[in-house]
Structure 1
Amino acid sequence: MKNKIIKLTILSIFTIVALSSCERELDQNAFNQIPLDDAMTSETNFTQAINGAYSAIKGTGYFSVDTGNQTIVPDVTTDNLIYNPQGRSSNFTAYNWSFSPDNASVTGLFTQAYFVISRANMPLKYINNLPVGSFRNNIEAHAKAVRAAAHFDVVRAYCKIPTQSSDANTSMGIPYVTEFNPLETTTIRNLTVAQVYDNIISDLNFAVNNIVDAPTDKSKFSKAAIYGLLSRVYLYKGDYNNAVAAGNSSIALSASVGSLVNFPNVWGSNNTDGVLLKILNSTQENITVGVAYQQGATATGGNIRSEYVVPMSLYNLFVNTDIRKSAYMRRSAYQNVQRNHVIKWAFNTGGGTPLNVVEAKYLRTAEVYLNVAEAAYKLGNETLANTLLNTLKTQRYAGYTPVTLSGTTLWNEIMLQRRLELAFENDRFYTFKRLGLTMQRTGEGPNIDGTGVPSVIQTITPNDTRWQWPIPQATINITPTFQQNPGY
């Protein structure tokens, strides 16, 4: 199937300079006057093309700027955040569930993800220019891993999730684009959700079996990261046996969830303890990942002006012995009003970058533990679920003593730890969606005591069509055959 979905956006791919990343740690040269057919013959140029695919993940619609930033959208749409009247009203459309094909507050992900996919497919088009061997296999593995990850990000947002409802697997999926051909204009959505997941898993399995592993380079997929992503995909698919198997393989290669001592530095510096894949950022690029949450935070204080704040009920779920409480949040006044602010993405003292210019954590080992714990519970393996939970909690709570839970109590603890660990990290919306749950806000206001004006939207039921975001109208304008999601 051919990529014409974002034709106007990806025309820049025809120049290699568009593939050159500004990332630190990379020495890349622009040669934008060289045709692709001639340029894609050397190992250096293939490496640059792969770097460009990874670099695109930080673009608008993924992790940059404020509106549509995927670090915050899954929180503002649910019960993890509440609108701050002192903010600028960014992402208010998403917060208020006023999704529209014409509004980019949410749908920016669609365009940027297919841009990533196009960048990943470009080196694959020329892969036969490389001699058979480990370098070629590695390039193909990275390209397919990035391609699979981007397709997964799209399909979980814009389509039903297999575990969401009984009809999800046979419902309309997205195009799985495997060819670099930006001028194609006749694509239709002729795959089911199940078929899209099969393609994602196929690409990831190829990648994990062929990648030249470099586990210390957290800016690219490693075997541990690919297995970790597979645990996420299999969990969403409802294939719990494979979710456990893939997750265990990831944990065997990278077991640390981030130690109690190191964990604050994962967010306040360049520490990568427990990080499987991060998206590089630098002063030169100046991608303001954290601006979606707030302005004004510093490493030691700051007159913080937040766009959205943490409800009292969630803030109180983080007990005082939980290292995540201080690593993720700060109680501070703005214009003499105390609020619970998110500082998880605010600063990077280790990298010396400006406010909110941080490296996005695409995947962490802690999530893999939670994926496996949930899948193990579904399979009746409460022993494994308890072991994983206790390992994680030992590195989050000072003085923690392991416990053994069972039944509903164990399930509730898995869900609680998932909410606490992955708060403000691109998860909460998808947890509600994939489990087919009602999203119910608490009716709290933004003040630290729960007072103030609550959100207008309080309840979203599982059968609401807005769980599937609208396809951008700009895409349909370019490609009239592309079907819009029901309800829009």
Structure 2
Amino acid sequence: MRQKNYTPLKNKYLDMKNYKNNKLINIKNKAFIVASFFMAIAFLTSCNEDPLDKAPLDSYTDTTTWNDLKLAEAFANNLYNILPTTQHNWNTRTNRSWALSTSCDEAYNKFDDYNSSTINSGALTPDNAGDFDIWKPTYSIIQNCNIFLSKIDNVPGDAAWRNRLKGEVLFLRAYAYFKLTVDYGGVPIITVPFDLNSDFKVDRSTYDQSVDFITAELDKAADLLPLTTSSLGRITKGAALAIKSRALLYAASPQWNTTNAVTKWQKASEAAKAVIDLNIYELYDKNYPDLFTTNNSEIICSRLSSKDPQWSAFNGVEMFNSPSGFHGWASFAPSQGLIDAYGTADGKDITDPTSTYDPQKPYVNRDPRFYKNIVYDGRAYGKPEFCQDRYDVGSSNIAEFYEGGLDSPQGWDTWNNSETRYTFRKYCDTTYNFNNDTQTNKAWIISRLGEIYLNYAEAQFKLGNDGNAIQYLNKIRQRAGITVPLAGLSGTTLENKIRNERQVELCLEGHRYYDVRRWKIADVTENKPLMGVIITKNSNGTKTYNYTKVQNRIFKPQHYLLPIPMDEINRTNLLQNPGYN
């Protein structure tokens, strides 16, 4: 039976990219804030019993907005756009959920959706970061946060409601500044709205000054925010404390803590412990893949995204990440380096000669998270009834990345085959047919307790408390299904194990890109080819694995930070980051 023709999907994919490149950036720069705000108001007013009692949309004035808590909340809701989502939005630079993984040694993106190849090739300059540059859109949201915070205290209505909204926007502004600092270092701190008479030339704060501001703002937010909320996706006290934990961990790391000051590690440790001591989160110990597709006890902060009617299935996680033989796009493919980071079932590294790893059977007896996070050759994927066309040609729902298999370059939908011969299972919901529909209310996890445990373990190690560090590593590994606990580790061996656990446990969650930079090891991890595997199926049924280069990667010293865009330098005379002049 001839396989289905999915060429229109590819054409639609490319048409959307071209449309973005030609149109949407200009639209966003000129009208995004106003248009999206009034869209939020339109939604809000449409829920009223008698919408005719409301003035037309184009007559909402500044006075009207800031005299109605409902309208103020609509304004605040729009500021949530600073948070990443699962959606693959080419025209939203602030949403780099997937691009971060493919701009480090974690994964490969064959369609170069966010200019990752510019970074990976060592060609990055102040003029060519493209969609990877978040400077302008992030400061646009900060401007709107400043407007909100300058008005909210005088909006009449329920004080608790008003304080909750204020806490949310304090968090969102702090999160925006955190995103800027991890990309650019110290940045201009602006806390009042600009107007036509403002002096737009504000000097950069130092990195430490920026972090002090961010953490102070998160503390203010935490004091105003509820401990829990019945509304999925809304910011809570735990979310504010969790981002504070991450900010202080980064600040204590070698990239910024060049003297290894113990006081910075102490702050990082205390911040992580503050989240743990809230005692309202717990590791999700049921079916591990459901951690990333359901609302559960481990999630501290997430951002929901619902179905886009214009794209139907095409903007779904499953469409972007599934193998080509299942008619997915394999857009974000795990690297061989990530595959090799998964240890064996007994918890040992695959390089350990005493482990159970067999290079002739590389996918056997591995860390249980490997089977939950990765689609590899020989792995079942999805329900059989969702891929009947594979069965019709004598195959099955078993992934075939070997040469000549349905998911190989010689198989189906060859323009979408995975260059590394792996795809991500993580974040994919295989309980429905992604070729026909897109699941609603997908959530991108911004913070979860597993990350906080790893933050705390790292800080405790740096403070010399190896036992505590191992204790929290074992919590993560035990939940994963590794039954042999760690014991007796210290020094570099323990530090490497902490870093390995972050690489495996937090893959595809946007951490690795920043981890290798803050640890100051990116000149090693990013300065070598990204690898994949070529699998040959032999006549006797065995398979041969040859590891091959997928993409050359070049990392230069200046790439620890992004360059401030040249138009901003020209406009404000800001000090450029080292190496980009």
Give the shorter-chain TM-score range.
Answer: 0.7 to 0.9
Cα distance in 2 for residues equivalent to 1:349 and 1:230: 35
With over 3 angstroms needed to count, the CA separation of the structure-2 counterparts of 1:257 and 1:59, relative to structure 1, is closer
Deviation string, structure 1 residues 324-382 (Cα, Å, up to 9, x no partner):
32332212424347711124344585898628984221112111111111111111112
Closer, same or farther: CA 454–53 of 1 in aligned 2, 3 Å: same
SS at match of 2:422: strand
How big is each residue's C-alpha offset from its partner over 1:247-269, in whole Å with a ceiling of 9 and x where there is no partner?
A: 112122256454242431133x3
Write the deviation string for residues 258-299 of structure 1: whole angstroms up to 9, x where unpaired: 4242431133x3333411111110014779999699856559
RCO higher in structure (CA 8 A, sep ≥6): 1
Identical aligned residues as a percent: 22
The 3 A distance-change label for structure 1 pair 16 and 7 is closer
CA distance in structure 2 between the aligned counterparts of 1:39 and 1:16, rounded to whole angstroms: 15
Tell me if the contact between 1:225 and 1:363 (Cα under 8 Å) persists in the aligned partners: yes
- 1:351 and 1:223 mapped to 2: Cα distance? 37
Which of 346, 359, 371 does residue 326 from structure 1 map onto? 371
Partner of residue 485, structure 1: 577
SS of residue in 2 equivalent to 1:446: strand
Pick the aligned partner of 2:424 from 313, 317, 342. Answer: 342
Instruction: Give the 3-state SS of the residue equivalent to 2:447 in structure 1.
Output: strand
Q: Would you say the 8 A contact 2:36–2:78 is kept in 1?
A: no
> Offset of 1:67 from its aligned partner?
9.1
2:105–2:337 contact (8 Å) kept in structure 1? no
Code of the aligned partner of 1:181: F
**Cα distance 1:53–1:373, how it changes in 2: closer, same or farther (>3 A)?**
same
Structure 1 residue matching 2:190: 3-state secondary structure: coil
Q: Does 1:45 align with 2:66?
A: no
Which of 196, 200, 207 matches 2:214? Answer: 200
State how far apart, in whole Å, the 1-side matches of 2:231 and 2:34 are. Answer: 28
Unaligned runs of 5+ in 1: 1-5, 160-172
**Alignment equivalent of 1:276, drawn from 284, 294, 300:** 300
What residue in structure 1 maps to residue 531 of structure 2?
445
| Cα pair distance change 1:386/1:285, threshold 3 Å | farther
Asked if the contact 1:218–1:277 (Cα under 8 Å) also holds between the matched residues in 2, the reply is no
Deviation of residue 75 (structure 1)? 2.7
1:468 aligns with 2:561: yes
Matches within 5 A, 1:219-238: 219-238=233-252
1:219 and 1:23 mapped to 2: Cα distance?
18
Is residue 2:104 matched to residue 1:78?
Answer: yes
Matched, 1:379 2:402: no
| 8 Å CA contact retained: 1:208, 1:223 | yes
| TM-fit CA distance, 1:221 | 1.9
Asked if structure 2 preserves the Cα contact closer than 8 Å seen for 1:287 and 1:357, the reply is no
C-alpha change, 1:253 and 1:432, in structure 2 (3 Å) is same
Of 350-359 and 27-36, deviating more is 350-359
Q: 1:316 to 1:432 in 2, by over 3 A?
A: closer
Contact 1:101 1:107 in 2 (8 A): no
Counterpart of 2:553? 457
* CA separation of 1:273 and 1:43: change in aligned 2, threshold 3 A: same
Q: CA distance change for structure 1 residues 328 and 109 in 2, over 3 Å: closer, same or farther? A: farther
Unaligned stretches of 5+ residues in structure 2: 1-25, 253-263, 345-364, 377-398, 400-406, 412-416, 535-544
Larger Rg: 2
Task: Count matched residues.
Answer: 460
Indicate conservation of the 8 Å contact 1:10/1:115, yes or no: no
Q: SS of the counterpart of 2:60?
A: coil
Deviation at 1:193, TM superposition (A): 1.3
Q: Secondary structure of the equivalent of 1:453?
A: strand
Kindly indicate whether the alpha-carbon contact (under 8 Å) linking 1:10 and 1:118 is maintained by their aligned counterparts in 2. no
Are residues 1:412 and 2:499 paired? Answer: no
Whole-Å separation in 2 of the counterparts to 1:328 and 1:21: 40
Q: Which moves more between the two structures, 180-189 or 281-290?
A: 281-290
C-alpha displacement of 1:152: 0.4
1:88 aligns with 2:106: no
State whether residues 341 and 503 of structure 2, in contact with CA within 8 Å, keep that contact through their aligned partners in structure 1: no
1:38 aligned partner, one-letter code? T
Query: 1:116, CA displacement in angstroms?
Result: 2.7
CA–CA separation in structure 1 for the residues paired with 2:288 and 2:314: 18
Q: TM-score, normalised by structure 2?
A: 0.69
Q: CA deviation at 1:394?
A: 1.2
User: Aligned runs of 1:421-432 on 2, under 5 Å?
Assistant: 421-432=505-516
Shift of 1:317: 2.7
What's the counterpart of residue 396 of structure 2?
none
Moved more, 208-217 or 293-302: 293-302
Query: Are the structure 2 counterparts of residues 327 and 291 from structure 1 closer, same or farther at C-alpha, using a change threshold of 3 Å?
Result: farther
Calculate the aligned-residue CA RMSD, in Å. 3.8
- Give the Cα separation in 1 of the matches to 2:42 and 2:83: 13
Q: C-alpha displacement at 1:157, in angstroms?
A: 0.5
Task: Give the alignment of 1:184-199 within 5 angstroms.
Answer: 184=198, 186-199=200-213
Change (3 A) 1:58 1:82: closer
Q: Distance in 1 between matches of 2:312 and 2:213?
A: 33
* Kept after mapping to 2: 8 A contact 1:367/1:422: yes
Q: Residues 452 and 257 (structure 1 numbering): CA distance in 2 closer, same or farther, change over 3 Å?
A: farther
Which letter does structure 2 place at the counterpart of 1:46? A
The amino acid across from 1:302 in the alignment is F
* Preserved CA contact (<8 Å) 1:444 1:451: no
User: Which residue of 2 is the match for residue 436 of structure 1?
Assistant: 520
* Aligned partners of 1:297 and 1:303 also within 8 Å: no
Higher mean alpha-carbon deviation, 324-333 vs 387-396, is at: 324-333
Q: Secondary structure at the match of 1:195?
A: helix
- Quick check: 1:390 aligned with 2:474? yes
Aligned equivalents of 1:153 and 1:446: distance in 2? 31
**Of the candidates 54, 57, 61, which is equivalent to residue 80 of structure 2?**
54
Which amino acid letter does the alignment assign opposite residue 274 of structure 1? E
CA, structure 1 residues 314+393, in 2 after alignment: closer, same or farther (shift >3 Å)? same
Q: Which of 22, 29, 33 is matched with 1:9 structurally? A: 29
1:354 aligned partner: 438
Kept after mapping to 2: 8 A contact 1:20/1:52: yes
Is the 1:211–1:223 contact (alpha carbons within 8 Å) kept by the matching residues of 2? yes
Seen in structure 2, the aligned counterparts of structure 1 residues 190 and 154 have a Cα distance that, compared at 3 Å, is closer
In 2: Cα distance, 1:379 partner to 1:178 partner? 35
Moved more, 232-241 or 252-261: 252-261
**Equivalent residue in structure 2 for 1:146, among 165, 168, 172:** 172
Cα 1:56/1:197, change in 2 over 3 Å: closer
**Partners in 2 of 1:359 and 1:108 — Cα distance?**
24
1:156 matched residue in structure 2? 182
Contact 1:218 1:276 in 2 (8 A): no
